[in-house]
Chain A
Amino acid sequence: MERTTIDLWVGVFLALGLAAIFGLALKVGNLTSSNVGETYTVTAAFENIGGLKPHAPVKSAGVVIGRVDGIVFDSKDYEAKVTIKLDKRYQFSKETSASIFTAGLLGEQYIGLETGYDEEKLQSGDKIKHTQSAVVLEKMISQFLYNKASDTKSSDTSKAAE
């Protein structure tokens, strides 16, 4: 088949397009960070996950060590069951506790892991027993107001007693 300059230019065009899509996927997007080497899966049940989403980072001591794989509602215990993929390089004790934190004041939510003292390590498929739910702002505010109200009431009664 004879080749023309047009073929060359169209080849350059298609190659540029592929390079752009690869560039977007690898440099701009998170395709590289989502499948880092070998992982193992553990689960954790939370009473309330707040705004946690799949692909959210899992951190320990501030370092990203895994990602949230999936979140489902467990209708037996009425809890959120979160599946977490952790990097195989990092091993955690069976006593590890998982909490949901917020990055910054209004940032995205992530799971923080703190290891315990048990010698036995978490295996694939294990469940993290100690969990702490996300802080729900409305609950915190209502609790604060409730405490405030009871404070003023008790100070009133103590004044009356004087």
Chain B
Amino acid sequence: MFKGLQGALSSLGHRVIEGIWRIGAGARLFSYICFYLPEIFKRPRLIVREIFSTGVLSLLIIIVSAFFVGMVLGLQGYNTLQKYGSSESIGVLVALSLVRELGPVVTALLFAGRAGTAITAEIGLMKATEQLSAMEMMAVSPVARVIAPRFWAGVISMPILAALFSMVGVLGGYFVAVPIVGVDSGAFWSQMQASVDFRDDIVNGVMKSLVFGVVCTMIALFEGYDAPPTAEGVSRATTRTVVNSSLAVLGLDFILTALMIGA
């Protein structure tokens, strides 16, 4: 019994130390990426290619899910608001919930699943097949050539995807509210415009998605770079990317919301 306790205690300690070590290594990778920022302007082609694979290829899933999320919000909102005789406020409900919360958060979760996993698997496999070591042998920094372009591409793509998500979601809400359940189109837009503030709601939403972009891409890159160079190691790293990104996004969302509402 004593031995079991000792084992549990030491594995707990091992996990804590491992976690702290990973945070430190991640911070070091982040500082390298920031250091190699000027390299990006020398080779814009690299970043364009990465924006294609993280941003453009995520467009379909973002647009389709945004449309359905907007439609569901419209339907649910109408169902409840109608009881209070204020079904015209449906536009406000859809727009505020999308622009403030759902746009940045759902986009980040989808991004982690769609683009984050691809980044982790790609870099993990490059490491397993010793492509990164080969680069180092040729005096090409893998951080400058492979990691940094993916990071900046993710940071650029995320706010764009989140803005698209919010806009398409609002259109989805409009599609349900106006032609299907018959809310007045003018009231839908005018009430929305009266209560959505550009600075307080839209800019804050974009700022949130920028933070999520940094966090999600950073986690995906670090997990790939840190993955044990085996098939199992890469698969575990991919799983960890999704789990850690989702947790980080949801936790950070609370902190960011508290900061923005409190300010």
Contact = CB atoms under 8 A, between A and B. Distances in A.
A103 to B, nearest CB: 10
B198 A34 contact: yes
Interface stretch (A7-15, A85-93, A130-138, A141-149): A7-15
A55 interface: yes
A20 B160 contact: yes
Given A16-B160, A27-B193, 13 more contacts: A6-B48, A7-B48, A9-B52, A9-B56, A10-B51, A13-B55, A14-B51, A17-B159, A20-B163, A20-B167, A23-B167, A28-B196, A29-B197
Contacts of B189: 27
B89 to A, nearest CB: 10
Interface string A34-56: 10000000000000000000010
Interface residues of B, number: 30
B201 interface: yes
Given A17-B163, A20-B164, A24-B166, A6 B52 contact: yes
Contact of A28 (B51, B157, B170): B170
B56 A12 contact: yes
B163 A30 contact: no
Contacts of B197: 29-30, 55
3 nearest A-B residue pairs (beta carbon)? A17-B160, A20-B167, A20-B163
Interface string B103-146: 00000000000000000000000000000000000000000000
19 contacts: A10-B48, A12-B56, A13-B59, A14-B160, A17-B160, A23-B167, A24-B167, A24-B202, A25-B198, A27-B170, A27-B189, A28-B202, A29-B193, A29-B196, A29-B202, A30-B194, A33-B193, A33-B194, A34-B198
Contacts of B157: 13
Interface of A: 6-7, 9-10, 12-14, 16-17, 19-21, 23-25, 27-34, 55, 57, 108
A13 B53 CA distance: 11
A42 to B, nearest CB: 22
Interface of B: 48-49, 51-52, 55-56, 59, 95, 99, 157, 159-161, 163-164, 166-168, 170, 189, 192-198, 201-202, 206
Nearest to B159: A17
Contact of A31 (B52, B163, B192, B198): B198
**Most interface-central of A9, A33, A34, A57 (chain B CB within 10 A):** A9
Nearest to A2: B45
A10 B153 CA distance: 11
Contact of B201 (A20, A21, A27, A29): A29
Contacts of B193: 27-30, 32-33
Nearest to A16: B164
A108 B191 CA distance: 12
Contact of A13 (B56, B159, B166, B201): B56
Contacts of A24: 99, 163, 166-167, 170, 202
Contact of B164 (A17, A55, A108): A17
Contacts of A13: 51-52, 55-56, 59, 157, 160
A25 B196 CA distance: 9
Nearest to A15: B160
A25 B167 CA distance: 10
Nearest to B196: A29
A30 B160 contact: no
Contacts of A23: 167
Nearest to A31: B198
A155 B99 CA distance: 59
A108 B157 CA distance: 37
A17 B158 CA distance: 10
A32 B192 CA distance: 13
